[in-house]
Structures are given as structure tokens and as C-alpha cells.
Structure 1
Amino acid sequence: MMLQEEVVDGSLEFLILASDGLWDVVTNEEAVAMIKPIDDPEEAAKRLMQEAYQRGSADNITCVVVRFLSSPNNSSSEQK
């Protein structure tokens, strides 16, 4: 069992919690690129699971995406 502790601050957009059924066939960078434009976390998780399945994952695929609310200072409207 692996345990990793991370600081959650205003810069964190989302968190991907997944089993090795995903990580065996999708890299961290690929996963981020796939779901970054998807606002709905449930749809993002489904997208990752579908991709792992299409890539032939031979393991159980479990995935949860948690999307964090951005603070007003992080919104794209203020970065014009």
C-alpha cells in the first residue's frame, strides 16, 4: 500500500485517484491532458476509464476525479 501526502492549496485544479488499471496504461501527463478541459469530474473520470479500457488495460479500472473550486484570484477572467 502506498501513502502520499500533498498540500492542497489554491493552485490545485483537480485530483485523480485511480487504480493501477488506469496507471498501467496511461501516464500522469496523458491523464492530465485528457481531463483538463472537462469541467464535470464524473465525465472526466469516465473519459479516463474509457481510455484505459481502449488501451487494453488487463486490470480492474477504478477512477475518481475531484475538481477543486478556484478562488477569485485564480479565475481565468482575471488573467486577461
Structure 2
Amino acid sequence: MIENSILGITDAMFILLTVLTILFIFYKKGSLIYLSFICAALAAFTRYEGLLLIIPLIISYLLRNKQILEDISSESFV
């Protein structure tokens, strides 16, 4: 761990933020999903592969909140 901080390697922080993102997605509390968005954004800032976390995160958020998904689909057909 000390070697990673001396060399400036971002692997440990990226893995931590990715695991926290996945962990917060599966919590039953709705307010913790916002923390998963924050962790995904920080993971995207850490490494560009973090951008791949954002798309499944948005899809899972929309599937969890089906009312938002229905509002989006009804407005797109008007």
C-alpha cells in the first residue's frame, strides 16, 4: 500500500471506489444510491475506465425507480 502511494498508482483507489459504487447500488435505502453516483464519478476521475460504471448505474437507477422511467417514456412519445 505504501508503494502504491509513493509511485502514484491509482489501482487501489479505483478498486475501492468501484466496490463502494456496487455496494451502494444494492442497498435497500434509496438515499444511498446517490452516494453510488458520487463514487462512480470519483472513479471516473481516477481512471477513464470508471466511465463504464456510469451507464449501468443509470440503468439500475431507472429500473429501481420505475415511475421516473414511465415519465421519460410518456414524454418522449408526446
| TM, length-normalised to structure 2 | 0.27
Relative contact order (C-alpha < 8 Å, sep 6+): which is higher?
A: 1
The structure that has the greater radius of gyration is 2
Give 1 or 2: higher helix fraction.
2
Give 1 or 2: higher strand fraction.
1
| TM, length-normalised to structure 1 | 0.27
